[in-house]
Structure 1
Amino acid sequence: MLDAEYSRALAAFSDEVSLLRDWLYGNALPLWFEVGYDRQAGGFFERVGLDGTPCLEDNRRARVHPRQIYCFAAAGARNVLVDWRELIQHGFSWFERVYRRDDAFFGSVASPSGEMIDESFDLYNQAFALFAFSQLALSVPEQKDAMEQKARVLLATLKAEYAHPEAGFEEGRPVKLPLCSNPHMHLFEACLAWETMAADPIPWAALADEIANLAMTRFIDQETGALREFFNRDWTPFPGDKGRIVEPGHQFEWAWLLARWGIARNVPKAIAVAERLFEIGVEHGVCDERQVAFMGLYDDFSISDPVARLWPQTEWLKASALLAQISRGEQRTYYLRQAVKAGAALRKFLATDIPGLWYDKLPLSGQFVNEPAPASSFYHILCSIYEVDDTLKLLQ
């Protein structure tokens, strides 16, 4: 017999998942499928205005394209979109043609017409290319071999050119500081995806292990359990306030990833680390008044940036859901309640006049900034909704 408190928490969680799922399938996917892709010049638009029209003049960051490819490929694999294959093939072709450099890496920014205007190397962009390759391999099985080959070439080149002498990767050549935990987080995500389906999972599993250990020994403060953003060349915290930055959204996101890795490797310590990251995010990174996760803390947990953005709400939601899956008793009830709070926080940002769009920033004033919806947020939103949807199916 189910405990009454757990039953109420599960029912509230189910209601929250239904609201989010209805918004995704009924509003967001149809809208972004219709207006989020440039059917004249090619490529995905950087932003869509709150009136539902794309921002035609925006330059286009490379990272937006693999994120949007992931969204439509993941949705297509769940049979919720018609003609998704054509869209992602057009989007992928544009991404490769416009951003791929001669050395196999991807540049950073292009014009709306598809001319590269910033070809600089960014580790973050390579991570998202690997992630898009993985979703295409999963969603379009006939392309799996080709995608795996592309991914392995990019990974090998990345290791050859940018491997850090201790662990992880450099930010640039010559050495560019600070080193950053964030691109490693997305490389970790790509590795966890590839290791489950690659014909040769060994390099992906090895890099996932390397990043997990780097996170647990260097990114995360051994005394407080908080994960920092910026580092010296030897992976010690970067000097000054920059080296003290702790982002609540990334506490949640790393919690989700390290819990996944800990489950896959049967490493209880990683799950304990994930639970502590989640605790920090909830206790120090959620505004009591606005009931949303905000952007920044320092390493003493004082606030560095009180503005709330959309994406940390999705990471709060994902981490809550996964930790609920692997918990029992009162702890599972707690994580389900956190998921409900995170879902409610996310839905504040989704309450636009035209359903299917979103606000990005909520300052201390409590009034959302009136600006176009960034396409880059869709990856966070869709991934979080699929995580809670899968969790609900498991728990029911």
Structure 2
Amino acid sequence: MAEGQSEVIDGAADVVARLKSRVIEHCLPLWSGEGWDAAAGGFVDRLAGDGRADRQAPRRVMVQARQIYCFAKAAQMGWSTEGRAIALKGLEYLLAKAKAPDGRPGFVFSLTPEGTVQDGRRDTYAHAFVLLALASAYELDRDTQIRAEIDALLAFMDAELRSPHGGFLEGLPPSLPRRQNPHMHLFESMIAAFDATHDLALQQRAGDFYALFLANLYDKQTRLLGEYFEDDWSRIAPVIVEPGHLAEWVWLLRGFERITGCPTGQRRSELLQSALRYRDGATGCLLDLGDADGTIRRDTRRLWPQVELAKAFIAQVEGGEADAAKEARAALVRLERHYLSHPVAGGWYDQFDSSGASLVATIPASSFYHVLCAVTEADLVLS
């Protein structure tokens, strides 16, 4: 074991309880308080390093949707008495400001702090998170208006964003290269929407993304997931690998298996083993970027891949893997020690360089979705 990796096991036994307390006592109050713009409405995109809101930063719709998911999920878990109200307040803002404000269907990419259109692109990645937000909010109390918004969003995507080559365009206007990332999050959102509605049509939609994964995104020979593609899903050389996405698909495939019974164990094991090829020897953390030859192309390490690695091991626990629980807790300890040990309670470091220096001065709101999801999964499976 490389230097530094053995120490992260210390404290693993009660790491889930510590992280749950951190989320409840610090993260949720921070992001519903300083992280919400009480004057103009909406969640802020980031906090400064001292924990004060950056109220001048544009408001990405993806971040609005992720924060809605976080507070809806916290309410479902019984972690926040105000979570439901905060999630619905966020959803009201999202629908009022970001849905077709320019008279064209779909959601814009970003808003100004005042709530006007900053970037009017219709981005597929952002729409995946709007669907996740709607599904999470619908699961709170089965509101028929929210269900109608789910159906309207799916109708828009079918009519305007579908690609003749399978899957969805990057957005409107269309652009290249095509990426697996929006499809991964649409897969996630379809699983969540099925969980919320029990609508078999949504289960089938999730199946369409699984089929796309097997046919185009995943290379069975190299056991790697490509990131960038031509319009017809031809791989773009050199094949770039994001280890965090390999881990993220492990968790998603387990979710698909849960809702369909379709066995995914072989592909999950292959993806996880491939992800572990791209670890930092000193810390055990996943690095940001590699290629199909196993070469590290970027030796920085962001927060979100560490969270997804923990979720991948949690998925393997659910799948009956004997040693996965120990690995999941070790990954959570690495997350806690390296990324969550921020002077702002409820904040985090987003990225480090190879020497361990922080590369991002702000505290991005977008990371809360990753952190909260991992801690809820850990509480459900490892506690």
TM-score, shorter chain, exceeding 0.5: yes
Q: CA deviation at 1:13?
A: 5.0
What amino acid maps onto 1:17 in structure 2?
V
> What is the distance in 2 between the residues matched to 1:363 and 1:203?
44
Q: Which residue in the other structure is 1:343 paired with?
A: 332
Equivalent residue number for residue 306 of structure 2: 313
- Within 1, Cα distance between the matches of 2:104 and 2:132? 19
Q: CA deviation at 1:262?
A: 2.5
8 Å contact kept, 1:167–1:211: no
Q: Secondary structure at the match of 1:117?
A: strand
Percent of paired sites with the same residue: 31
In structure 2, the partner of 1:89 is 88
Q: Counterpart in 2 of 1:287? A: 280
Pairs within 5 Å for 1:71-90: 71-90=70-89
Equivalent-residue separation in structure 2 for 1:286 and 1:148 (angstroms): 42
Shift in Å, 1:166: 3.6
Q: Which moved more, 1:112-121 or 1:335-344?
A: 335-344
Alignment of 1:1-396 (within 5 A): 14-101=13-100, 102-139=103-140, 141-143=141-143, 145-172=144-171, 175-198=174-197, 201-238=199-236, 240-241=237-238, 244-268=239-263, 270-282=264-276, 284-327=277-320, 331-333=321-323, 335-347=324-336, 348-369=338-359, 371-393=361-383
Inter-CA distance 160–38: structure 2 relative to 1 (3 Å threshold) = same
Give the Cα separation in 2 of the matches to 1:285 and 1:337.
20
What residue identity is the alignment partner of 2:148? Q
1:375 Cα deviation from its structure 2 partner: 0.2
SS at match of 1:89: helix
367-376 or 343-352, larger mean C-alpha shift: 367-376
Structure with greater helix share of residues: 1
Pair 93,365 (structure 1): closer, same or farther in 2 beyond 3 Å: same
Structure 2 CA distance for partners of 1:173 and 1:94, relative to 1, 3 Å: closer
Code of the aligned partner of 1:32? W
Aligned-partner residue type, residue 158 of structure 1: M
Moved more, 84-93 or 176-185: 84-93
1:100 CA displacement: 1.0
Equivalent pair of 2:299/2:353 in contact (CA under 8 Å): yes
Q: What is the letter of the counterpart of residue 374 of structure 1? A: P
Q: Root-mean-square deviation (CA), in Å? A: 1.8
Given that 1:48 and 1:373 are in contact with CA atoms closer than 8 Å, whether structure 2 keeps it comes out as yes
Unaligned runs of 5+ in 1: 1-9
Is the Cα contact below 8 Å between 2:219 and 2:225 reproduced in 1? yes
Distance 2:116 2:104 in 1: 18
Unaligned runs of 5+ in 2: 1-8
Q: CA deviation at 1:174?
A: 6.0
Q: Report if aligned partners of 2:121, 2:172 keep a CA contact under 8 Å in 1.
A: no
Distance in 1 between residues matched to 2:150 and 2:13, nearest whole Å: 37
Q: How big is each residue's C-alpha offset from its partner over 1:331-385, in whole Å with a ceiling of 9 and x where there is no partner? A: 422x122212211221110001122100001101112235111000000000000
Corresponding residue of 1:3:
none
Structure 2 CA distance for partners of 1:11 and 1:213, relative to 1, 3 Å: farther
User: What's the counterpart of residue 6 of structure 1?
Assistant: none
Could you tell me how far apart the structure 2 residues matched to 1:197 and 1:88 are? 15
Count matched residues.
372
Given that 1:263 and 1:271 are in contact with CA atoms closer than 8 Å, whether structure 2 keeps it comes out as no
